[in-house]
Amino acid sequence: MEIFTFPRSLREGAELDSTAHISFEIIAKNDPEAFAKVHLFTPNGVSAPDAATYNQMNLGLLGAGMSLVEAGKTAVDDVKSLAGGKGLTNTALATLLATGIGGNKTAMAGMAMGVAANPYIATAFESTTLRSFGFNFKCVPESSEEAEDVRKIENTFRKFMYPKELDVIALQYPPVFRIKFYNGEEENKFMPMILDSYLINLTTTYNETSNMFHADGAPVETSMSVTFQETKALIRDDLYSDDSLDYRRERPKGDQGGE
């Protein structure tokens, strides 16, 4: 496995408990070439965008029936009051409105009496959203060796963001990246656990604050903005076990991440 580190001082510091850094390991079960690891300092402003999607559901007559049962009567019994000459109660009229029985006449009666069918709107869970994580790295090499490290890191990200051609009509999926935050040699429990992810964006800026180059043509600074998206929407069991608030840490195996 090729291992790239920036800055080079991180190689020694990574063995110290106080050194925080982030690693990106490239994993692909069907692409032996995609096998590398990148170590960088943990960037500023790391965020974890957890979210879920809910929809509005109109329960209509079903919700009304449940409420009437809880109240000790049924919608049918109340509607029967019409046949017994007992008059049109608000509940009976609302039931007719909900079912559409009587059409315009029922609608007009509802308007006259100021009664509408309760739609029984409820919130319905749909799914969790795919999480994306963005990181910004500003690399200012102090030597030609470090400038070469930055070049290799940048091209490692770019190379394995793209799919590989299998034949004239088929492409092989890009590899996934396994992202881990470390404090020294141990995973940092205070930072988010990210499941295997695809690199979906790489934006590189050369000499953002200057227009200077080293003698060999290397820019004096290189900024990389990378965005990763997890391979699937998560459930609770992907992150936590039933009896703990600590991350599980063992990453579930994805289709592309076979170990």
Whether 70 shows a pLDDT value over 50: the answer reads no
pTM over the 0.85 mark: no
| Mean pLDDT of the region 116-127 | 79
Whether 244 shows a pLDDT value over 80: the answer reads yes
pLDDT at 91: 67
Do both 112 and 139 map to the same domain? no
Do both 111 and 159 map to the same domain? no
Q: Which residue among 75, 96, 125 closes a domain?
A: 125
Do both 100 and 175 map to the same domain? no
To 10 degrees, what angle do helices 103-113 and 90-99 make?
A: 140
Whether 13 shows a pLDDT value over 70: the answer reads no
What are the Cα distances from residue 73, in Å, to 13, 60, 82?
Answer: 73, 17, 16
Which one, of 249, 242, 133, lies nearest residue 193 by Cα? 249
Host domain of residue 220 = 2-49+132-239
Do both 208 and 96 map to the same domain? no
pLDDT at 259: 47
| Mean pLDDT of the region 7-32 | 77
- Ranges 1-10, 22-31, 65-74, 228-237, most confident: 228-237
Residue 252 placed within a domain: no
Q: Which pLDDT band, with edges at 50, 70 and 90, does 72 fall under?
A: very low
Do both 103 and 31 map to the same domain? no
Do both 203 and 150 map to the same domain? yes
How many domains, in total, are found in the chain? 2
Whether 83 shows a pLDDT value over 50: the answer reads no
pLDDT at 121: 79
Do both 36 and 91 map to the same domain? no
Residue 258 placed within a domain: no
% residues pLDDT > 70 (the chain):
72
| Beta strands at 132-139 and 222-230: parallel, antiparallel or unpaired | antiparallel
